[in-house]
Structure 1
Amino acid sequence: MSQRRLILPSLIVLTELVGLTFNLYPNKWHQLTYYTLLSNILVLAFFAWLVLARPTPSASLTRIKGAVTTAILLTFFVYLVLLMPTATHEQFWRVQNFALHFIAPILVILDWLLYDAKGHYRWFEPLTWTVLPLIYMTFALIRGAVFHLPIPNEKASPYPYFFLNIDRIGWWGLSKYFVAILAVFLLLAYGMLALKRAPKVGRFHEKH
């Protein structure tokens, strides 16, 4: 893997370190209940490994990266559609907000578009990627509905997001949000699969 090929992954790692540090310091570990933080930590771990280990490109690596990419894209779109309209002016302009909700996802999708080889995704691959958000949703619901663990400064506490707050929106409301978010996720994932079947996307991967 050439030095040039490492530029984007290195920028992603730097962005994640800045965003996560601002979010977690000092003593804000309750932030780890949010999908935003967990998906960005996943991105940090993957791209830090990419920079340090410089693995040989392979089909399995491309598939894993596809899962990581869709996970952070979901963060971007859910924030854009559901959370940004409810954010205060002060919340919106925070460094960590831009780093984790905008800059990191855009850099990740850019890296994916430029460097991931086409032809490695199988038709069912996007279905397996849904495991990550489904695990998170299960965790968030059990944490809130069963253990009632409070989240400091969160209006939806003990749930991390208003669209998971079954005490307020009920199971029917939760079901509607769940179906909508899952549909968005699968549209993103299958859109990625379709793009990687196009003739010119991912053309740089083999050259570096």
Structure 2
Amino acid sequence: MASPIQSSRFSLATTLYAALTGGLTWIAVVLQFHITTNKAIEDGLGFWIGATRYFGYFTVLTNLLVAIALTVPLIVPWHRISSFLTHPSTRTAIAGYIIMVGVAYYLLLKNVWNPQGLQLFVHHLLHSVIPIAYVMFWAMFVPKTRLQWRDLLVWLIYPLIYLAIALMRGALFNWYPYPFLEVDKLGYPEVLWNSLELLLGFAVVSLGLIGIGRLAGYWLKQNQ
């Protein structure tokens, strides 16, 4: 059992790491909002179209989720939402989501997008720096021993809802956030297959995280 001094140091380390990573994530998502809305204005689409498209990207939504999950509990630790955001299952789900942000980009989008200038800087934050930083936070500070295999069923709700909304929005407004979701070019069979592959990838990553947690629990029991 950790001593009170060790526990307080651990709590301080958790707070500092969460504050720094959360703050960096907020900077990244705000800069991306500025870039996306400005580009929409330059393209003649207007601010509001840019704003709605900004919230259509899984990368943006997931990084926003990271920012909220890391900073809200520091601001209102007594609130029920903080209990939800700091629950090991919630934090592990977010780890799975942000891992998929990085993996999906480098596997599917790296060769079809060439960001420059400020967008390049923000791109590295959203797709590389923040995913790595959050996974390190999960590895160092999140209790994992009580994770259950069935948690995956709940974690799948977010990506399923995202895909459903992205496809419905594309059908209504002929705009898709990612090339692998472009029904007008690929057709529904290929897009649905792409979506299934992404969901399976997320499931594999998530089961891996749960497996790490369960192995950690087994190791702790064996060494008590």
Higher RCO (CA-CA < 8 Å; seq separation 6+): 1
1:26-45 counterparts in 2 under 5 A?
Answer: 27=37, 28-29=50-51, 30-45=53-68
Q: Distance in 2 between matches of 1:15 and 1:130?
A: 27
Q: Are the counterparts in 2 of residues 31 and 37 from structure 1 also a CA contact under 8 Å? A: yes
Unaligned runs of 5+ in 2: 1-7, 38-49
Deviation, structure 1 residue 176: 1.8
Q: Is the 8 A contact 2:32 2:119 kept in 1?
A: no
Q: Output the aligned Cα RMSD.
A: 2.6
Mapped contact 1:12–1:107 kept (Cα < 8 A): yes
Does residue 183 (structure 1) correspond to residue 200 (structure 2)? The answer is yes
Could you say which residue in structure 1 is the equivalent of 2:47? Answer: none
- Structure 1 or 2, whichever has the larger Rg, is 2
Task: Report what 2:17 is aligned to.
Answer: 8
Aligned length: 193
What does residue range 64-103 of structure 1 map to in structure 2 within 5 Å? Answer: 64-88=90-114, 90=116, 94-103=120-129
Query: How far does residue 51 in structure 1 lie from its aligned partner after superposition?
Result: 2.3
Contact 1:76 1:101 in 2 (8 A): yes
Partner of 2:182: 165
**Cα displacement (A) at 1:92:** 9.6
User: 1:16-165 counterparts in 2 under 5 A?
Assistant: 16-25=25-34, 27=37, 28-29=50-51, 30-54=53-77, 61-88=87-114, 90=116, 94-145=120-171, 147-148=172-173, 158-165=175-182
Task: Report % sequence identity.
Answer: 22
Task: Kindly state the Cα deviation for residue 49 of structure 1 after the two structures are TM-superposed.
Answer: 1.4
**TM score, norm. by length of structure 1:** 0.83
Shift of 1:116: 1.5
Q: Residues of 1 paired with 2:117 and 2:217: CA distance?
A: 39
- Relative to structure 1, is the Cα distance of residues 92 and 179 closer, same or farther in structure 2, using a 3 angstrom cutoff? farther
Contact 1:126 1:190 in 2 (8 A): yes
Q: What is the DSSP-based 3-state SS (H/G/I as helix, E as strand, rest coil) of the residue aligned with 2:176?
A: coil
Q: Specify whether residues 4 and 74 from structure 1 end up closer, same or farther in structure 2 by C-alpha distance, changes over 3 A only.
A: same
Secondary structure in 1 matching 2:187: helix
Per residue, is there more helix in 1 or in 2? 2
Partners of 1:25 and 1:35 in 2: CA distance: 17
1:94 is displaced (CA, Å) by: 1.4
Measured at CA, do residues 130 and 179 of structure 1 come closer, stay the same or move farther in structure 2, by a change above 3 Å? same
Aligned to 2:215, the other structure's residue is in SS state coil
- Consecutive unaligned residues of structure 1, counting only runs of 5 or more, are 150-157, 204-208
Taking structure 2 as the reference length, the TM-score comes to: 0.78
Paired residues of 1:9 and 1:50 also in contact (CA < 8 A): no
Matched residues in 1 for 2:216 and 2:94: separation?
23
- For 1:177, the aligned partner's letter is N
CA deviation vs aligned residue, 1:54-85 (integer Å, no higher than 9, x gap): 46989x81111122221211111111110112
